[in-house]
Amino acid sequence: MEKTRREQKREDTINEIKAIARHLMSEGGTTTLSMRPIAAEMRMSVMGLYRYFENRDALLTALIADNFNAMADAMENARDSERSDDPVQKLLAVLIAYRSWAIEHPVDFQLNYGNPIPGYEAPPEITVPAVVRSFVVAIGLIEEILQRGLAIPPPHYDHVPPPLEAGIGTALERYGYPVSPLALYFAVTGWSQLHGVIMLELFNHIQPLIEDSTAYYEAQVHNLLYNMGVKLP
């Protein structure tokens, strides 16, 4: 079914609204996004916007959903376009792509992972599947690395710490993803470690100590893999 002119124009307008919203957030922060400046920027009355989004929260939800999907796209793309078949190389590419996306889209990353917006809560049925998508990319590669014996974790790190076993088990059941508990544990560990690097960089906290934050992130990624017992070239 082809798009009518009207449908096409509608889609364009929606994208324009989103783009302007992102731009305004880059200047005024994510937590104070408001409809009126968007309308002004578009040379349109405020109420015109309500033809496209039921209210401000609906616009936020659309932006957040876009962001999670774009991030997952970037990660999947990094995995699939890595020349080597080595899952270690693929994982490296995916983790690098994760930060690249965040640094190239600081406001979008902030909208998803920064302060909650007062009075707004993202509907889980929208966000959870999108988050799971990007998580699956990393965890799939970790599982493959473990199964193929490409990593030999040291004794203190070759098992899920006992107090965490229950929680990890519950999570695996809930999302029904067939993967070992250790792979999930490694994925969470890596996520939280790299998340900190990205957040500190995004808000300029780490720059006074580290000049080259790209090199710093890469060093952290290498540490992560070394500590899992992966042999890097």
Binding site for DNA (CB under 7 A): 4-6, 9-10, 13, 33-37, 43-48, 50-51, 55-57
Three-state DSSP class for residue 230: strand
Which one of a second copy, DNA, none is in contact with 123 (Cβ closer than 5 to 8 A by kind)?
none
Query: Using the rule CB under 8 A, is 50 a contact of a second copy?
Result: no
Shortest Cβ 15–DNA spacing (Å)? 12
Three-state DSSP class for residue 93: helix
4 or 204: CB nearest DNA: 4
118 or 149: CB nearest a second copy: 118
Q: How far apart are CA 224 and CA 229, in angstroms?
A: 9
Shortest Cβ 154–a second copy spacing (Å)? 8
Of 191, 190, 17, which is closest to residue 113 (Cα–Cα)? 191
122 or 141: CB nearest a second copy: 122
Q: Residues 172-191: x/- map of binding to a second copy (CB under 8 A)?
A: --x---------x---xx-x
Which one of DNA, a second copy, none is in contact with 126 (Cβ closer than 5 to 8 A by kind)?
none
Alpha-carbon distances, residue 19 vs 25, 42, 124, 156 (angstroms): 10, 11, 23, 47
DSSP per-residue codes, 138-200: HHHHHHHHHHTT-B---GGGSS--HHHHHHHHHHHHHHT----HHHHHHHHHHHHHHHHHHHH
Task: Name the CA radius of gyration of the chain, rounded.
Answer: 20
For a second copy, the binding residues (CB under 8 A) are: 28-32, 110, 113-118, 154, 156-157, 161, 163-164, 166-168, 170-171, 174, 184, 188-189, 191-200, 203, 205-206, 208-212, 215-216, 219-220, 222-223, 226-227
